[in-house]
């Protein structure tokens, strides 16, 4: 009993962790199901059909490809622009800095419906045709802030003496930036890029307001399928994403762990 | 912070592309081309991101403000007529949706704090060498698309499923039914399911800020409290919790704001009786095509959240933040 009380925190923590992970396990489990009707909600028989032929559902892999393309492009643009902005905010003093900080913070502190609906209203009023471009614009918009925050945190914690040392050793500004500053900032830039890829790939609310009828991203496909009955292949994609990302993250942990803690 | 105080001369990023082409334009003022160039560097660096946010984030909000006082229809077009009744109509028709949104979001935020705090504490203070693995496990659910995970709750909470059977046999459903959270011995399509989904979806947003503030805590303070004969409860109340307050404030905001605008959980896990204001906005915008009402509602939502958040921040003490 004493042991139980002393470890109450651990017990509750593990229960919370289970709460977080159980849906992923259910998704994995039901990716091996062979449902009888349209709905994949009750377990019937084990089958690997969905895994061997994931693209057999009409439209799903197209949507997946579109989401990947948008996420890659949005990440590229948001990471570049966000990194510039992060350097400006972390390294310089200038007029309007606090306003800029607020401008960059605001998109993170606003409900997605509000952002989605207002950008959609702008596109409607200016008669921009909804589609790939409007989705891309929206995704860059909400990814920017996250990149800026991630890169800024890293740049702020960098030791400016390392760059001074490089200059003392007669490195030119370009050389200093390329050989010292950028490698130091790289982990922040990488985590910003990963975050924006994940956010863009997974976004549904803002996308729904800015996609128009004919452009279907993967989350929009899942949303549509939820009304008609979700095919097992959706579970396959979900589980595959989970496994792939887990492997990447754990590999990254191993690599940084072996290099030794900074 | 120290890096800001002393910007290195000719800053490391001064050779960024946007800086070079426009040099002649800035040299117009004769006060030394080089100095003015250096002074403008941060502005050039900020230009792309700032412009993007100004055009696609700030301008839309103004457009929405103007749309919210328009009248008309899709056929004959919308015109600004300063129809403020859009707001009162929205509140009259969807007042319940607003209340429900904030109610559900508040309950979900409280539950997230209750569930997330022990987990964040365990990872930050007790985990030792398991810390990184546990952090990965907290972020891991994110790797699966959140719509798919929310749909998984439909399976978990399905009528006649093991969860509902267990809750029913433990008479928990009787209690929640009495509280009005569930009905008819089922969980799906009840407020409980929506709150459960909201709590689940936003839990990591609570855990991560909590973790980062708890991780920074000096654990020798806990030992000191114990040495001074503080009970665990007192230690928590007087030392741990106050030190984690910035994390609590950040976590509750990161949970409450998106949760009150969410419409996915209410749509997938609830019934028409659990619709939140997000569902109403989405329907007005995408199905009814009544843009003025949708705009008025999302403006109201934003304003109400801003009022609540600023009140909360004043109470929680902003100076400890950031």
Q: Given CB atoms, is B236 within the 8 Å cutoff of chain A?
A: no
Residue A5 has pLDDT above 80, yes or no: no
How is residue A78 written in tokens? Answer: 């948001």
Question: Searching chain A, which residue's CA lies closest to the CA of residue B160?
Answer: A42
Q: Do B137 and A138 touch (CB under 8 A)?
A: no
B4, B80, B145, B300: which to substitute to probe chain A, counting the most A Cβ within 10 Å? B145
Q: Given CB atoms, is B134 within the 8 Å cutoff of chain A?
A: yes
Q: Is B192 exposed, middle or buried (0-12, 13-18, 19+ CB in 10 A)?
A: buried
Residue B78 CB contacts under 8 Å (≥ 6 apart), including other chains: B67, B70, B71, B72, B291, B292
CA distance B200 to B194: 10
Residue B1: band (very low, low, confident or very high) from pLDDT cuts 50, 70, 90? very low
Q: Given CB atoms, is B322 within the 8 Å cutoff of chain A?
A: no
Angle at B89 between CA B83 and CA B91, to 5 degrees: 125
Residue A128 has pLDDT above 90, yes or no: yes
Q: Confirm whether the ipTM is greater than 0.95.
A: no
**Tens of pLDDT along B89-114?**
899 999 999 999 999 999 999 999 99
Chain A residues with beta carbon closer than 8 angstroms to that of B6: 160
pLDDT at B13: 41
CA distance B93 to B253: 27
**More confident call, B77 vs A55:** A55
Q: Do B136 and A246 touch (CB under 8 A)?
A: yes
Say how far residue A66 (Cα) sits from the centre of its chain.
Answer: 15
**Residue A122 CB neighbour total at 10 angstroms:** 23
CA distance A55 to A234: 10
pLDDT at A257: 66
Residue A65 has pLDDT above 90, yes or no: yes
Where would I find the beta strands (DSSP E) of A101-255?
A: none
**More confident call, A44 vs B131:** B131
How many Å lie between the alpha carbon of B21 and the closest alpha carbon of chain A?
16
3-state secondary structure B102-136: HHHHHHHHHHHHHHHHHHHHHHHHHCHHHHHHHHH
- Identity of the residue in B8, B50, B298 whose CB atom sits nearest the CB atom of A100: B50
Angle at B9 between CA B4 and CA B10, to 5 degrees: 110
Residue B142: band (very low, low, confident or very high) from pLDDT cuts 50, 70, 90? confident
CA-wise closest residue to B261 among B243, B279, B283, B287: B279
The DSSP bridge pattern shows strands B70-73 and B77-80 to be antiparallel
Which residues, in sequence order, are bridge partners of residue B70? B80
Which residues, in sequence order, are bridge partners of residue B80? B70
pLDDT at A178: 92
Question: Contact B155/B161 with Cβ under 8 angstroms?
Answer: yes
CA distance A250 to A49: 29
pLDDT at A60: 93
Q: Is B264 left (phi over 0), alpha (psi -120 to 50) or beta?
A: alpha
pLDDT at B318: 54
Q: What is the DSSP string of A37-51?
A: SS---S---B--HHH
Question: Contact B19/B44 with Cβ under 8 angstroms?
Answer: yes
**More confident call, A211 vs B180:** A211
- Identity of the residue in A17, A140, A160 whose CB atom sits nearest the CB atom of B8: A160
Chain B residues with beta carbon closer than 8 angstroms to that of A93: 4, 7
**Tens of pLDDT along B281-295?**
999 999 999 999 999
- 3-state SS class at A239: helix
Say how far residue B20 (Cα) sits from the centre of its chain.
Answer: 39
Say how far residue A241 (Cα) sits from the centre of its chain.
Answer: 12
Ranking A222-231, B77-86, B142-151 by mean pLDDT, the lowest is B77-86
Question: Contact B301/B261 with Cβ under 8 angstroms?
Answer: yes
Which residues, in sequence order, are bridge partners of residue B186? B183
Residue B14 has pLDDT above 60, yes or no: no
Chain B residues with beta carbon closer than 8 angstroms to that of A8: 118
> Locate tokens 């839309």: which residue?
B60
**More confident call, B172 vs A148:** A148
Question: Contact B188/B158 with Cβ under 8 angstroms?
Answer: yes
Chain A residues with beta carbon closer than 8 angstroms to that of B16: 84, 87
- Identity of the residue in B64, B123, B261 whose CB atom sits nearest the CB atom of A118: B64
CA distance A136 to A74: 6
Q: Given CB atoms, is B178 within the 8 Å cutoff of chain A?
A: no
Residue B22: band (very low, low, confident or very high) from pLDDT cuts 50, 70, 90? very low
Question: Searching chain A, which residue's CA lies closest to the CA of residue B152?
Answer: A23
pLDDT at B300: 94
CA distance B299 to B295: 6
Residue B17 has pLDDT above 80, yes or no: no
- Give the best-scoring range by mean pLDDT among A65-69, A99-103, B12-16, B22-26: A65-69
pLDDT at A227: 86
pLDDT at B317: 67
Helical (H) or strand (E) element with B70: strand B70-73
pLDDT at B38: 61
Residue B58 has pLDDT above 60, yes or no: yes
How is residue A49 written in tokens? Answer: 């059909």
Mean pLDDT of chain B: 84
Helical (H) or strand (E) element with A78: helix A60-91
pLDDT at A259: 59
- B119-125 average pLDDT score: 93
Interface contacts (A, B; CB < 8 Å): 296
CA atoms within 13 A on the CB side of B313: 15
Chain B residues with beta carbon closer than 8 angstroms to that of A12: 115, 118-119, 122
Q: Do A237 and B282 touch (CB under 8 A)?
A: no
**Tens of pLDDT along A130-158?**
999 999 999 999 999 999 999 999 999 99
pLDDT at A3: 74
**Tens of pLDDT along B28-56?**
343 433 444 468 889 999 999 999 999 99
Q: Do B264 and A219 touch (CB under 8 A)?
A: no
**More confident call, B137 vs A44:** B137
Q: How far is CA B241 from CA A6, A191, B110, B244, in A?
A: 18, 29, 15, 5
CA distance A241 to A237: 6
Residue B59: band (very low, low, confident or very high) from pLDDT cuts 50, 70, 90? very high
**Tens of pLDDT along A207-260?**
999 998 889 999 999 999 998 888 999 999 999 999 998 888 888 878 776 655
- Identity of the residue in B14, B156, B286 whose CB atom sits nearest the CB atom of A22: B156
């Amino acid at each position: 009993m004493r042991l139980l009380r002393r470890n109450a925190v651990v017990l509750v923590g593990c229960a919370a962790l289970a709460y977080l992970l159980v849906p992923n396990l259910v998704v994995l489990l039901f990716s091996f199901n062979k449902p009888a009707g349209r709905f994949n909600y009750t377990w019937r028989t084990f089958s690997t059909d969905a895994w061997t032929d994931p693209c057999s559902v009409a439209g799903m892999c197209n949507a997946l490809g579109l989401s990947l393309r948008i996420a890659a492009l949005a990440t590229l643009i948001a990471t570049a622009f966000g990194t510039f902005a992060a350097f400006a905010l972390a390294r310089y003093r200038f007029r309007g800095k606090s306003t800029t900080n607020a401008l960059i913070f605001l998109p993170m502190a606003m409900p997605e419906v509000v952002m989605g609906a207002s950008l959609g209203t702008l596109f409607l009023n200016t008669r921009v045709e909804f589609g790939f471009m409007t989705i891309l614009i929206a995704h860059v918009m909400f990814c920017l802030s996250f990149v800026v925050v991630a890169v800024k945190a890293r740049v702020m914690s960098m030791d400016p003496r390392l760059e001074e040392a490089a200059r003392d050793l007669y490195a030119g500004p370009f050389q200093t930036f390329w050989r010292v500053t950028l490698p130091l900032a790289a982990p922040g830039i990488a985590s910003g890029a990963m975050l924006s890829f994940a956010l863009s790939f997974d976004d549904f609310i803002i996308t729904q307001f800015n996609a128009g009828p004919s452009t279907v991203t993967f989350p929009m496909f899942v949303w549509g399928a939820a009304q008609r009955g979700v095919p097992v292949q959706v579970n396959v994609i979900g589980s595959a994403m989970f496994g792939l990302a887990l492997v990447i993250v754990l590999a990254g942990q191993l690599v940084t762990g072996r290099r030794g803690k900074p | 912070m120290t890096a800001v105080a002393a910007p290195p001369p000719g800053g490391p990023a001064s050779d960024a592309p946007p800086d070079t082409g426009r040099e002649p334009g800035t040299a117009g003022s004769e006060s030394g081309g080089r100095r003015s160039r250096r002074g403008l560097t941060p502005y050039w660096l900020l230009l792309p991101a700032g412009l993007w946010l100004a055009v696609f984030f700030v301008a839309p909000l103004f457009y929405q403000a103007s749309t919210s006082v328009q009248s008309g229809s899709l056929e004959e077009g919308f015109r600004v007529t300063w129809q403020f009744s859009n707001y009162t109509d929205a509140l009259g028709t969807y007042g319940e949706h607003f209340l429900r949104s904030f109610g559900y979001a508040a309950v979900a935020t409280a539950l997230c704090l209750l569930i997330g705090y022990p987990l964040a504490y365990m990872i930050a203070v007790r985990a030792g060498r398991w810390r990184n693995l546990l952090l990965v496990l907290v972020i891991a659910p994110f790797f699966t698309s959140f719509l798919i995970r929310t749909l998984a709750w439909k399976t978990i909470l399905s009528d006649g499923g093991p969860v509902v059977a267990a809750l029913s046999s433990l008479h928990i459903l009787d209690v929640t039914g009495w509280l009005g959270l569930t009905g008819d011995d089922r969980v799906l399509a009840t407020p409980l399911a929506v709150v459960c989904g909201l709590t689940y979806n936003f839990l990591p947003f609570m855990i991560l800020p909590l973790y980062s503030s708890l991780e920074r805590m000096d654990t020798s303070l806990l030992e000191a409290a114990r040495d001074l004969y503080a009970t665990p409860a007192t230690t928590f109340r007087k030392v741990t919790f106050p030190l984690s307050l910035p994390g609590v404030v950040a976590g509750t905001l990161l949970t409450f704001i998106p949760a009150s605008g969410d419409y996915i959980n209410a749509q997938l896990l609830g019934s028409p009786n659990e619709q939140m204001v997000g569902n109403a906005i989405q329907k007005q915008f995408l199905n009814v095509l009544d843009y003025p009402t949708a705009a008025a509602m999302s403006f109201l939502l934003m304003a109400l959240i801003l009022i609540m958040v600023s009140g909360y921040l004043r109470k929680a003490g902003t100076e400890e933040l950031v």
